[in-house]
Structure 1
Amino acid sequence: MGLHVLLQPEEDAEASVVERAQWHPSLVISSGDARLTVQMAGREGGAEMAIRFARELAEAAAAFADRCQELTRLAPLDFDALTAALGTSPEEVAEATGRHALSEQWPTE
């Protein structure tokens, strides 16, 4: 079973790297009372997987920031209108757009 986590950053949101134990860095993402920590798996290949994931995460985060900036360049987003048009759950978004929010696949016409 998968776990879906939705994080909408608050004013205190931050991402940082901490190394409380030598040779054991953690990527910590926090907002409000929520915290997500990413660490290397303690097994063979764990460091390489963490490196690959962190680089993919950085690339996706930059693309997300660029898209958010693009959407708000002219005016703030009207979230009430977006919610009315698309809904708020992944299932409601899927129904309105033909694409589930958690799916990698785009619908074919």
Structure 2
Amino acid sequence: MKPTQILSGGAAPLPIGKYGHYLGHFGHFGGQPQKGIITYGLSANRQNPLAHTAHDAVFNIWRRFYGQVFFWLPAGIAGYYILDWANHRNHYLNSKAGRAEFADSEEE
């Protein structure tokens, strides 16, 4: 049965669907179903959710590490050597030899 112009809101600008109901504009609920899309499913009893997780985790960790290591490794090495130098310099300045060398430059 074809809806009348009164039921469809006047002159129907869009075609009526296969079974006689209004399909709506593109993108709205009730539109035509897309064709050519095939989906497959697998029963929950047939799935193995932990398949290859250990293998994939190792290689994913390596891939992410290798992609980021050149960003933080130089800064980490530089920071380590700066702190090491500062600690040695502090120990020297607070030693007997350091105090004797820089005793005249201190103003108290």
Short-chain TM bin: under 0.3
TM-score by length of 1: 0.24
TM-score (normalised: structure 2)? 0.24
Relative to total residues, which structure has the larger strand share, 1 or 2? 1
